[in-house]
Chain A
C-alpha cells in the first residue's frame, strides 16, 4: 500500500513538473532558447498573485485570472525586446542574458520582499484531501494542479496541431527562413510562443505558491526539475514532457520512501540514466512539435 501511495504522490507532483516545464520546452523547441530565468518568472508570478490580488480585491485563489494574462503580455514584450536582441547576436548570448535576467529577478525579490517565503492563500483548501485508505491521501490542491496540467498540455497540443497560428509556430520551429518566405513575421511568432511559455509558467508559479511556500530563490531548483522533465520526456514532445514530469516525480517519491535524503538524488539519477541511454529522451523527435 505504501508503494501505491508513492506512485500516486509521484504522479501528482509530476503533473506540476510538467506544467512548469512545458513553456521551457516550447521556447527551446521554437526559438532554440534555453530560458534560464524560466523558474524565476514562475516565482515572480507567485509573488504577483500574493501581493497584487489583495490590491485588486481578488481572492488569491482566483489571482491566476489576472496574473496569467499579464505574464502572457510580458512574455511577448520580453521576447520581442531582450531575448530577440540576444538571439540576433548568437545562441550563447541568450544563455548569458537569461542567466543575468534570473540573477536580477532573484536579487530584486530579496531586496523588496526579503528571503521569507510566501504562500498563495487558498483558505481551507490547503488541508483538504481525499482519504483513499489509511496510508493514501490525495490532496485536493495537488489533484487540481495535476488536472490543470493535463488540460493545459492537451489544449496546447491541440492549439499547435489544429490552428493556423499553431501551424505557424511549428513552421518557424522547423525552418525559420522558409516560414518567412511564406509570409510569416518570425519575430512575432516567437513573441506568441514566449507569451504561451510565460503564461503557463505563471500558472505553475501560482500553483507552487498554493501547494507550498515560494521564496525568491525557489526558481533555480524548479528550473532544474523542469529541465529534467523536458529531457526525460524528449524535447519537442508535450506529452513526453508530461510523462517525463511524472517519471521524475515517481523517482523522487521512491527515493524519499527509501530515505528522505534520497528524494532529489533519485530524480537526478533517473535523469542521468535517460541522458546516457536515450539522449533525445523517451519521446524526442529530431524537430519540434509535430
Chain B
C-alpha cells in the first residue's frame, strides 16, 4: 500500500490500474506520470489544490480527455483509446463536476437516460428510488426545480443505474451545505458493498479522509503523497497539498 506507484499493472485483484498516465491541455502537463490502482470495493480519494489535475485525471479515465502517455487498465483490459460510451459499457461511470443533469428533462427521464445503455447489475431505477426515498414523489419534476443536493443525488443515481464497476465522483461537495454533503457521502459504504470501486476527487480533505480507504495527493499534476488516512498526519498532507516550500516562500505556490 505504501508504494503503489511502482507496482506493475498485472494484479487480478485490481479493478483499475493507472500506470504512468500523462495528460496535456495544450502545452500544459495537467497530469504528469501518475500511477495508482483501485480494487473492487475500495474507495480511493484523490486530493489536491485547485488546478492540481484531479478533475482532468477523472475525465481522462472516463474518456473525455485523451492521455498522451501511460496506460489505463480496467480488469486487465486497456481502455485508454476507447470512446467514453464504450467505457460506460465496460463499467466506468463518472458523476461529473457540476452535476451536468439534462436540464429540460424530469428527474425520472434523467435516470432513464442512464438506464438506456445499462449493464446488468443491482441498480435499477426502482433501486435508486429505494436509496433516495424522496425521489418517487418528485420524479415528474424538472431537475431545475430540485435543490443542489437533490440534483447531486440524481447525478449519482444516473451514474449508478448504468451499473458501473468503477464509479468516478468529481467534487461531490461543490456548492453544497455541510449537512447535505454528509448525507451524500453516507451513501458510499452502500455503493462499495456491491463491490464497486470508487475513485473520488475532493477538495474537502476532511471529507475525503473520512470516507477513503487510501488517499492519493496530487500537486501540479504529479503524485506528492500516497497512503491510508491512518498513516498520514496533517503536516504531511499540508505539504503534499500546497507544496513543500509553502512556509518558506509563498510565491512558489503557483497552482496552475
By the criterion CB–CB under 8 Å, are A182 and B88 in contact?
yes
The interface residues of chain A lying within 8 Å CB-to-CB of B162 are 182-183
Q: How far is the CA of A173 from the CA of B113 in the complex (A)?
A: 13
Contact with A along B94-136 (1 / 0, CB 8 A): 1010001111110001001110111000000000000000000
> Which of the four size classes fits the interface of chain A?
20 to 34
Query: Given A167-B116, A183-B116, are A290 and B85 also a contact pair (CB < 8 Å)?
Result: no
Q: How far is the CA of A186 from the CA of B109 in the complex (A)?
A: 17
Query: Given A180-B84, A181-B96, are A175 and B116 also a contact pair (CB < 8 Å)?
Result: no
User: Which of A170, A184, A185, A186 contacts B105, CB < 8 Å?
Assistant: A170
User: Which of B96, B113, B159 contacts A177, CB < 8 Å?
Assistant: B96
User: Which of B89, B100, B104 contacts A178, CB < 8 Å?
Assistant: B100
Identify the closest chain B residue to A288 (Cβ): B104
The interface residues of chain A lying within 8 Å CB-to-CB of B62 are 181
User: Which of A178, A185, A285 contacts B102, CB < 8 Å?
Assistant: A178
Q: How far is the CA of A167 from the CA of B117 in the complex (A)?
A: 12
B64 interfacial by beta-carbon distance below 8 Å: yes
A179 interfacial by beta-carbon distance below 8 Å: yes
A43 interfacial by beta-carbon distance below 8 Å: no
By the criterion CB–CB under 8 Å, are B100 and A175 in contact?
yes
Q: How far is the CA of A175 from the CA of B159 in the complex (A)?
A: 15
Most buried by A among B63, B116, B159: B116
By the criterion CB–CB under 8 Å, are A182 and B114 in contact?
yes
Chain A residues 212 to 245 lying within 8 A of chain B, measured CB to CB, are none
A164 interfacial by beta-carbon distance below 8 Å: yes
By the criterion CB–CB under 8 Å, are A185 and B83 in contact?
yes
B214 shortest CB reach to chain A, Å: 25
Query: Given A180-B85, A183-B162, are A167 and B113 also a contact pair (CB < 8 Å)?
Result: yes
The interface residues of chain B lying within 8 Å CB-to-CB of A186 are 85
By the criterion CB–CB under 8 Å, are B103 and A287 in contact?
yes
Query: Given A182-B117, A183-B117, A184-B113, are A177 and B85 also a contact pair (CB < 8 Å)?
Result: no
B158 interfacial by beta-carbon distance below 8 Å: yes
A64 interfacial by beta-carbon distance below 8 Å: no
Contact with B along A266-290 (1 / 0, CB 8 A): 0000000000000000000111111
User: Which of A167, A181, A286, A288 contacts B109, CB < 8 Å?
Assistant: A167
Query: Given A177-B64, A183-B88, are A170 and B116 also a contact pair (CB < 8 Å)?
Result: no
By the criterion CB–CB under 8 Å, are A164 and B102 in contact?
no
A12 shortest CB reach to chain B, Å: 32
B66 shortest CB reach to chain A, Å: 14
B208 interfacial by beta-carbon distance below 8 Å: no
Give chain B's interface residues, CB within 8 Å of chain A. 62-64, 83-85, 88-89, 93-94, 96, 100-105, 109, 112-114, 116-118, 158-159, 162
